[in-house]
């Protein structure tokens, strides 16, 4: 049995180099779920690659992710810190563009690090073999790379090879994060809290005590995310009240109030999850749920 490996990587490269598309191809659909979630690392997690034998956590590099500013300035200490804290750096160099001053600038900065850097030649599907070979040669002369891997994130070409190569550079260690979307307790609790807050805005009386909000599921919308943007998420939430009269209050005349609740909650949830969502709210009556142990359990109390 091979030893389990885990660690952090970040993807760098000049604007339009294919960083986001590559990140999404590496992590499949999980990127949106994990984006914007600060955890034990103080860096924002862009996605997690879960495998039988390894876990790779892709983190954002402040500044290098907005390389337009980078080209004008020196890399600041923060960026250098981040880059020296990860286990491996993926440097994207698009095959359809000549190695230019922007790439040389980043290469020079990366040369100062101790961390292994993998040169990833992105978009190899858009050029012929001759051009690709030429580009690989130019890239190999640009610096000291731990590996050079040509990929096409759009066609999925060599993405698995790249994952193997990256994991080869990770230290042995246990998984850092749980597998599976909904195991992330704090996130679903926060989503429920945002809905609850919106639903209770302007209402008084006993309703606050009678309302239980439960996140049913958070799943990526099928087919979304192929454009390089984080996938859109379907967020389904149940609002449990104790009486029909309370249900009527939450829903409002012609559903007007529930729509307003949805609009308000959606803004907060999108900011939290860092992606577009479709928020599906269902109001249900669970009679006297507060006094019923079975129901309490089901509602997460
Ligand atoms: N044909 C092809 N196009 C690609 C590939 N990867 C990315 N692209 C396209 O290249 C463009 C830039 O890709 P992004 O992933 O947004 O690049 P980025 O480096 O994240 O860009 P910035 O956010 O500006 O730094 C998009 O139009 C992608 O669709 C690829 O493997 N093949």
Q: What is the DSSP letter of 171?
A: P
Q: What is the pLDDT of residue 21?
A: 85
- CB-CB contact of 13 with 106 (8 Å): yes
What pairing do the DSSP bridges indicate for beta strands 233-241 and 212-220? antiparallel
Q: What is the pLDDT of residue 281?
A: 97
Which of 16, 24, 131 best tests ligand 1's pocket when mutated (most atoms within 8 Å of CB)?
A: 16
CB neighbours (10 Å) of residue 72?
7
Q: What is the pLDDT of residue 231?
A: 80
Q: How far is CA 294 from CA 68, 88, 207, in A?
A: 56, 49, 21
- CB-CB contact of 12 with 89 (8 Å): yes
Q: How much is the ipTM here?
A: 0.97
Is 124 annotated as belonging to a binding site?
A: yes
Low-confidence stretches of the chain (pLDDT beneath 70): 1, 28-46, 60-81, 177-186, 204-206, 289-301
Which of 13, 20, 26 best tests ligand 1's pocket when mutated (most atoms within 8 Å of CB)?
A: 20
Which of 228, 229, 230 best tests ligand 1's pocket when mutated (most atoms within 8 Å of CB)?
A: 228
Q: What is the DSSP letter of 254?
A: G
Q: What is the pLDDT of residue 45?
A: 63
Determine which residue's CA is closest to atom 14 belonging to ligand 1.
18
Residue with tokens 């209050």: 249
Ligand 1 neighbourhood includes 122 CB (under 6 angstroms): yes
Using the atom order of ligand 1, give the atom closest to the CA of residue 17.
Answer: 19
Is 5 annotated as belonging to a binding site?
A: no
18 alpha carbon – ligand 1 mean position (Å)? 3
Ligand 1 neighbourhood includes 153 CB (under 6 angstroms): yes
13 alpha carbon – ligand 1 mean position (Å)? 11
154-205 pLDDT, tens digit per residue, is 998 999 999 999 999 999 988 776 554 433 446 777 788 889 888 988 776 6
25 alpha carbon – ligand 1 mean position (Å)? 11
Q: What is the pLDDT of residue 109?
A: 83
Task: Report the DSSP beta bridge partners of residue 236.
Answer: 217, 280
Selection from 288, 192, 300, 181 nearest residue 239 by Cα: 192
Is 94 annotated as belonging to a binding site?
A: no
Ligand 1 neighbourhood includes 21 CB (under 6 angstroms): yes
50 alpha carbon – ligand 1 mean position (Å)? 23
Ligand 1 neighbourhood includes 16 CB (under 6 angstroms): yes
Selection from 69, 59, 54 nearest residue 6 by Cα: 54
Q: What is the pLDDT of residue 270?
A: 85
pTM above 0.90, yes or no: no
Report the distance separating Cα 47 and Cα 60, nearest Å.
Answer: 9
- Domains observed in the chain: 5-168 (3.40.50.300), 181-298 (3.30.300.20)
Is 47 annotated as belonging to a binding site?
A: no
Is 13 annotated as belonging to a binding site?
A: yes
Q: What is the pLDDT of residue 254?
A: 94
Which of 15, 19, 21, 95 best tests ligand 1's pocket when mutated (most atoms within 8 Å of CB)?
A: 21
Report the distance separating Cα 153 and Cα 23, nearest Å.
Answer: 9
122-134 pLDDT, tens digit per residue, is 999 999 999 999 9
Residue with tokens 């129901």: 295
Q: How far is CA 62 from CA 10, 29, 49, 74, in A?
A: 10, 23, 21, 13
Determine which residue's CA is closest to atom 3 belonging to ligand 1.
123
């Amino acid at each position: 049995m091979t030893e389990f490996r885990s660690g952090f990587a970040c993807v760098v490269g000049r604007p339009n180099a294919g960083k986001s598309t590559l990140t999404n191809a590496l992590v499949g659909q999980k990127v949106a779920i994990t984006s914007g979630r600060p955890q034990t690392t103080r860096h924002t997690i862009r996605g997690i690659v879960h495998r039988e034998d390894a876990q790779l956590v892709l983190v954002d590099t402040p500044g290098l992710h907005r390389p337009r500013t980078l080209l004008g300035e020196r890399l600041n200490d923060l960026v250098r810190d981040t880059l020296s804290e990860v286990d491996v750096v993926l440097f994207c160099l698009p095959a359809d563009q000549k190695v230019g001053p922007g790439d040389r600038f980043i290469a020079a900065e990366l040369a100062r690090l101790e961390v292994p850097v993998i040169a990833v030649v992105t978009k190899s599907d858009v050029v012929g073999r001759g051009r690709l070979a030429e580009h690989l040669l130019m890239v190999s002369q640009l610096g000291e790379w731990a590996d050079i891997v040509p990929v096409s994130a759009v066609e999925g070409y060599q993405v698995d090879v790249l994952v193997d190569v990256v994991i080869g550079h990770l230290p042995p260690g246990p998984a850092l994060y749980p597998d599976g979307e909904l195991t992330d307790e704090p996130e679903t609790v926060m989503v429920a809290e945002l809905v609850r807050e919106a639903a209770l805005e302007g209402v008084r009386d006993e309703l606050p005590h009678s309302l239980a909000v439960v996140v049913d599921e958070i799943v990526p919308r099928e087919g979304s995310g192929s454009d390089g943007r984080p996938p859109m998420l379907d967020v389904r939430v149940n609002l449990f009240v104790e009486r029909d009269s309370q249900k009527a209050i939450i829903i409002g005349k012609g559903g007007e109030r529930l729509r307003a609740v949805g609009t308000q909650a959606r803004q907060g949830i999108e900011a939290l999850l860092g992606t577009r969502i479709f928020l599906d709210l269902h109001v249900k009556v669970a009679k006297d749920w507060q006094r019923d142990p079975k129901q309490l359990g089901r509602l997460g109390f």
